[in-house]
Structures are given as C-alpha cells and as structure tokens.
Structure 1
Amino acid sequence: MNLTVTDVRLTPILVADPPLLNTQGVHQPYTPRLIVEVVTADGVTGVGETYGDTKYLELARPFAEKLIGRQVSDLNGLFTVAEEVAVDGSQVSGRVDVGGLRGVQTADKLRLSVVSGFEVACLDALGKALGQPVHALLGGKVRDTVEYSAYLFYRWARHPEGVPAEPDDWGAAVDPAGVVEQARRFKERHGFTSFKLKGGVFPPDEEIAAVRALAEAFPGHPLRLDPNGAWSVETSLKVAQELGGILEYLEDPALGTAAMAEVSAATGVPLATNMCVTTFAEIKEAFTRDAVQVVLSDHHYWGGLRNTQQLAAVCRAFGVAISMHSNTHLGISLAAMTHVAATVPGLHHACDSHYPWQAEDVLTERLAFRDGTIAVSDAPGLGVELDRDRLSALHRRWLDDDGTLRDRDDAAAMRVADPGWTTPAVPRW
C-alpha cells in the first residue's frame, strides 16, 4: 500500500445560494466553495471542501504543492505545511471573515480554514485505502445518526430583478407568519424537530414575535435565535427576559467575550457562540468568565475533524456543552460534519446545517435527512462520491464569473437592492 500523495487537485466553484438575510446584508446569488482532491500513488482519491474565496485559494495553491510526496496519513504534518505558507497580510489586516460573521481575521484563522479542507480529503483517502469509514479513523462512532436543526432565515422570495440567480420555491419570509411557514416546510420535507432562526435582521421585538410564533406552532420543539452579535448588552438581556422560557439557547446576542460575559452574568438563558470562541486561544477567557455555555464547533474554523474532537474534550473538561455551527456548504462538508459529530460524546444539541438551502451539489447522490437526522455512513472514507459533470459545471460558472462573486460579500449583495446600504455599526440595536 503506497499512501504517498502524488497529485492534489483544487477546483473552485460557485454554488447557487438563496437570498437569505442576516445582519450584514443578504447572501449573493452564488457563493464560492473550494473542492480539494488528494490522490495517492495507488490511485486512491480523497475529497474535502472549504471556503473558496480568493484569499483561501491563494493559500491553498502553494499548500497543495507542498503536499506532493508526503504521506496521506501524516495529518499532524498538515499544520507544519500550513506554517510554511506565507499569508498576504493585506488579506487579513483589519478585515472580517467570510460573511462578516466571525470577527477579525488573522493569518492563523485563514490557515486553519484551508487546512480543514485538506485534512478531510486526506482522511477520506486514508479511509478508502484502509477500507475504514472516517469515523473509525477518529476513534469510532458513539451514535448511528446525527441530529440536525432546521436553519430558518428571513429571506426574500427572489434575488433583486436583473440579478442572474437560480429560482427556488420557498417564497419570502419577512414576518412571523413567513418564518412559521418556512419551519413547517422544513419539518414536512426533512423531519426537523428543532429550529434556529437567523436574527439581527429586524428590530428585536419583531424577532421576539417570530420566536413566540414558532413556539406556538411547534410546542415542545427546541428553539434558538442567533442575531450574530447585533445587539447591545441591554437589548440582549431584554430579549433573554422575553424569551427565557422558550429558547433552548441564545446564540451570540452581543459581540465579543466581554459583552457575552456581561449578558451571561445577568441571565439564566444559556448562551452559545461560534463568534467569540473560534480558536483554542480564545477559550481561556470565554470559559473562565463563563461567557458561553454552548460552543458551536465548525471544522472549517478549527482546522479539521481532529481539532474538533480536541475542542469537544476541552469543553467537557469545563462543563461547556458542544454542538455544531454551519455556513453555506455542500455534501462533502455535511458528510465530514456527520462523521466527527458521530464520535463526540455528550452531543446534546442538534447541529446546524445550511445544506437544505443548497439545491446544487457536487455529489452523485445528495445526503438525505430522515426525521431531522443524517445516518452515519460505514462505507470507506466519507462514503460520498464526486459527480464530475456537476463539479465541472459549477467550476465553469466560477471561470465565467468576472470576479464579482468570487469573494462572498453580503453587504455588496444588499447594495444591489439598496444602493445606500452600509454594513451596520455594532451594536445595531
């Protein structure tokens, strides 16, 4: 068995995205993703997926070159390789992340997001070579299915007139009735039994009304609200008081660990985050100040599946719960999320996933939700297969783009509909 890496293929693509609203603006009609393929001397190919924006591509390309000749099993070495790749300081200095929803970028955060795609591809290739599923390479699964939550968004019925986009049948959701109808369709189509609403879009009273409407329509179903740090401490406490008996947790109501700690000290509503704890260096302050009670992991943020397991172990040591964050992603990432989630003990909150919003994929067969869960594959590797025709078509879309959509920018997308739109100052309310 020869596990030497002989080729690495990087394929940037543009994937259709609906007009989903957040506090920064609206999703563009297409979002960039990067598909990573790692090929061994024996002809085994592993696949991974991560962000496809220009700054990630510029780091992934030299990273890929440095992998040639290394062992696909040398997963620790991926981080050494990443340190050898220079990061353009202009790409991260003073800037915020993809979508503006993770805080200020750093070179280390950028590297970790790139490493994540390569680590998943290497694990997929290693699993195929050994005839083992990825979860077995991670120590074995502790559950056969992983529960996911319906990810609700305020949204327009369609992208602005004149903007090339792929149509869908979801319709608008800009008020409580629209949010409830969206949740009902998610439940009917996929069997979800918990719901998360992306907030920070409308004044807090309107979003409180939407959560109350969900609670009335779906009694007993866990509910979450995530305004992406758009509120002041005072507003966060007001919402917590209003929804204290309804919410499973309140996610990132205020921006930053200090503000979250202040909110946490004055409410009994659990606080979750995927914004103030996204690296190991950020854990100490957040946990010692009791700023968060639930960390939403994301293997794209943390540098892969094994780092996600390490994060879960740290959370257990501090008595902090863990679940999983999601950004726009395809089936490769959902498969990876499911494999690592299957290995994490004490996963008591359903994971997030954008996947039901993505009508396009690069797999021969879409992953299917049954009763709000994904079955954990026991096939070798991730248990998924690339559809090369679909991959080629989505890559052609990327090649044909004039560069406008190769970097996600929710504020720019909003300015198409509202030329005067500027990224709101925080706190917004």
Structure 2
Amino acid sequence: MKITDLKTFIVGNPPPHHGGRYFIFLKLVTDSGVEGLGEVYVATFGPHTVVRMIEDVFERHIKGQDPRRIETMTRRVYGTGYSLRPDVSLMGVFSGLEMACWDIVGKETGQPVYELLGGRVHERLRTYTYLYPKSGSAYPETTDADHVYVNPARAAERAVEEVEAGFTAVKFDPAGPYTVFDGRQPDLESIARSVAFVRAIREAVGTRADLLFGTHGQFTASGAIRLAKQLEPYDPLWFEEPTPPEVPEEMARVARQTSIPISTGERLTTKYEFARVLEQGAASILQMNLGRVGGLLEAKKIAGMAETRYAQIAPHLYCGPVVGAANIQLAACSPNFLILESIRTWGGFHAEILQTPIRWEEGYVLPPTAPGLGVELNEAVALANPYDGTALHLEMHGNPVP
C-alpha cells in the first residue's frame, strides 16, 4: 500500500464563522484508491501559502510511502532541513497529513482509529462550548456594548441557554485584548470585568456547569496571579494560558500560587514542548490541538506523558470538524481525558461540510464506530465555499495595549 496523490481544499467558513474564517482540509489517496482525510491548523501563514507547504511536504516525505509507517514519516518531517526541533508551522502541516494516514489505516483494517491506539475507554465524551453570540458574527464590533464578549449579563444568559441545552461546562475570555507585545500587567478595569463575568455566570448556572476562564497569554506571571486570586472564590475549572507559551517556567509560577488548575497547549507542538510544561509543573490540563501538535500518534504520546504526572487532556478546537473528529479519536482512547471542546452542538456549517455530522447528545459526543476518523468530507459543499482571501486564520493585535 502506497500513498500516490494529494487533494487540498481551502474552505471559507460562512457567518457566523465559528471556528475561524476558513478551514484547510486535505485528502491522501493510495494506490488502491483509499482516501484519508485530514485538516491542517496553521495560523502563521496565509491559507494559499499553507497549501503550497502541504504540497512540498507531501512531495518530499509522504508520496510513495506506506501510510502505516507513521513513526518513520514523523521523524523525517520533524528533522527536515536540519531542524530536529519543534516548528509549529511544519508540524501543523504534518498534522493534517498524519491524521489522513490514520484515516487510511483505519479504513484498511475496518477499525476506528481509537481502536488502533489502545482501544476505546470512554463510551461518551463530555464537551464544553465557548459562549458565542446567539446569532450573527463571531466577531462582533467592539463598540457594541451588549454582546456576550463584553457584557457579563448577556454572557450569563447565554451560559444558561447552553447549560439547558446539555452542556456541563462553558468557556469565556473577558480579560481583554491580546497582542504581540504581551505579557503585561492586567489593568484594574480588566480585572473587574473578569470578576464580574465569573460572578455573573456562576450565579446564573450554580453548580450545573464548570466555568472555563480563557485568556490568550496576555499577562506576566505576577499579573496573572493578581487576576487568579480574585477569580478563586468562584472556583473555575481552569485558568487557560495565563502567560505567553514560550516560557513554561513563568506559567509554573502562576500554577504554584493559585488553587485554579492551569490549562495550556493550543499554541504548542510536539511532545518536547509539552514535556517542558509537565516538567515545570506549569499546567495540569493539556489542550493539544490535533491539527497543530504533530498528529494523533504524537498527541497519544503526550497524553501518556501526562498520565505519569496525573495531568489530564482537554483537546482544543479553533478550526474545523476534521480536527474535531481527530480530537474525538484521541479522547476516546485516553484514560486521562477530561473534556472536549465543541463548536456548540456541531450544527450549522460544521455539519454541512461532513457527509455524516459529529454526533452530539445532551452535552456529550458519542465516538463514531465507522472506520478511520469516522467522518467524510462533503466535497460538493467544500468546493461551493472556496476561500480566496489572504488573512491569517487567527491574528493578534499588532500594537501594545495603551
């Protein structure tokens, strides 16, 4: 069995854009005609450049290879160009190719990927959702003083709606803008707003749901500790990425001085970066994104390392449903799985782009029993929604916060 061909799709994500402006999907094809599906989460280059990167890695390292030889392909890509170090863009590209290989292997053996990575240990997977606006764009104008990203009362109302729909955890990030100049000290207004959000949502949902307090590495360790101390009375399940990701030693300072569990990982890649997090005690909840971390096998190794530290995994999702499907496969076979990020209930475009939508019921995802990743791309929908822009998938403010 050999990989012979590659197909790529840059798919525009229509309003309300939950999960990003666009998704980058790919298919690998074998000499026997089996197709494997993958998704790449690379936010460092424009989408058309990313596709050229995918094509380059495919031609150099994947074409002509046996899709079962995942360890060998991983090492060849990881060390390409005399690197042998974590490269978030390169490993993001490889992540999509790697998960497509697993999809092929699963289809060839007639097994879901989770059965090939140790076997299913969870019959259903607890999920959480971000508190998106009820309707309209996921990027509301900042001048609107009444949307859920700035108004605690509106956020509490949305939280109640999500809990009544079945979710037992909700995430929100009211701490203010994040920039390329972070970390910084939070100002008093940001602290007060954050406390108001946590208080209002806790009062609204009581003990029916966990609160997941998100940040984007905005703060210094001392600033994050100041903020955490004021959030502690409301008992969030986690304080996400309180400091920038490049120095886990600083994040560890926060972890040592708050009772709130620290979570991190969406901007990290490979087991080597996650090993530093674990060694430093920087976080007890790891949020690898399967479209960036290096693929399913790399993520499974990270989950195993986490077990030895009694750390848990909560796969991160800010992209499309193919990464979501890979997250599900990892979560299903990982004893230390905690919770899975969901794009609400996997409806809307996230359902339309798949031939069979991800199955979500009463707050839980049910792992598929179909072979491979358990999902198939609806190519007609993908081709009908091309993305021709040049924007990055996710961007930070380019100027310091005044």
8 A Cα contact 2:111 2:371, kept in partner: yes
Match of 1:75 among 62, 70, 79: 70
Partner of 2:314: 323
SS at 1:338 equivalent: helix
How far apart are 1:311 and its partner, in Å?
Answer: 0.3
Q: Map of 1:384-423 to 2, 5 A cutoff? A: 384-394=375-385, 397-398=386-387, 401=388, 403-405=389-391, 407-411=392-396, 422-423=397-398
SS at match of 2:263: strand
Contact 1:32/1:51 (8 A) holds in 2: no
Matching residue of 1:166 = none
1:116 alignment partner AA: S
Letter of the structure 2 residue corresponding to residue 372 of structure 1: G
Shift of residue 307, structure 1, vs aligned partner: 0.9
2:203 corresponds in structure 1 to 216
Gaps of 5+ in 1: 21-26, 90-105, 163-169, 412-421
TM-score (norm 1): 0.78
Task: Trace 1:150-169 onto structure 2 (pairs within 5 A).
Answer: 150-153=129-132, 157-158=136-137
SS at match of 1:113: helix
1:130 aligns with 2:118: no
Question: How far is the alpha carbon of 1:383 from its aligned partner?
Answer: 1.8
Aligned to 1:239: 227
Give the corresponding residue for 2:248. Answer: 257
Q: Read off the aligned partner of 2:6 and give its amino acid letter.
A: V
For the Cα contact (< 8 Å) 2:5–2:63, is it kept in 1?
A: yes
Partner SS state of residue 46, structure 1: strand
Q: CA deviation at 1:368?
A: 3.2
Q: Which secondary structure state, in structure 2, belongs to the residue aligned with residue 174 of structure 1? A: coil
- Residue pair 2:128, 2:170 contacting (<8 A) in 1 also: yes
Residues 1:359 and 2:339 are matched in the alignment: no
Cα distance change, pair 316–273 in 1 and its aligned pair in 2 (3 A): same
Inter-CA distance 113–159: structure 2 relative to 1 (3 Å threshold): closer
List aligned pairs for 1:181-330, cutoff 5 A: 181-189=157-165, 191-201=166-176, 203-220=190-207, 221-245=209-233, 246-255=235-244, 256-274=247-265, 278-329=269-320
Q: Which residue of 2 aligns with 1:5?
A: 3
CA distance in 1, matches of 2:394, 2:315: 23
Counterpart Cα distance in 1 of 2:323 and 2:255: 32
Alignment partners' CA distance in 2, 1:381 and 1:251 = 31
- Contact 1:155–1:173, Cα closer than 8 Å, also in 2: no
The answer as to whether partners of 1:277 and 1:295 remain within 8 angstroms in 2 is no
Given the two structures, how large is their TM-score scaled by the length of structure 2? 0.83
Contact 1:48 1:333 (C-alpha < 8 Å) held by counterparts: yes
Give the aligned partner of residue 58 of structure 1: 52
The aligned residue for residue 46 of structure 1 is: 36
With 252-261 and 214-223 compared, the bigger mean Cα shift is at: 252-261
C-alpha separation between the residues in 1 aligned to 2:274 and 2:333?
Answer: 21
Change (3 A) 1:117 1:213: same
Aligned in 2, Cα 1:380/1:282: closer, same or farther, shift over 3 Å? Answer: closer
Matched, 1:176 2:171: no
Q: CA, structure 1 residues 325+129, in 2 after alignment: closer, same or farther (shift >3 Å)?
A: same
**Letter of the structure 1 residue corresponding to residue 395 of structure 2:** D
In 2, distance between residues paired with 1:360 and 1:309? 29
> C-alpha distance in 2, partners of 1:358/1:345?
28
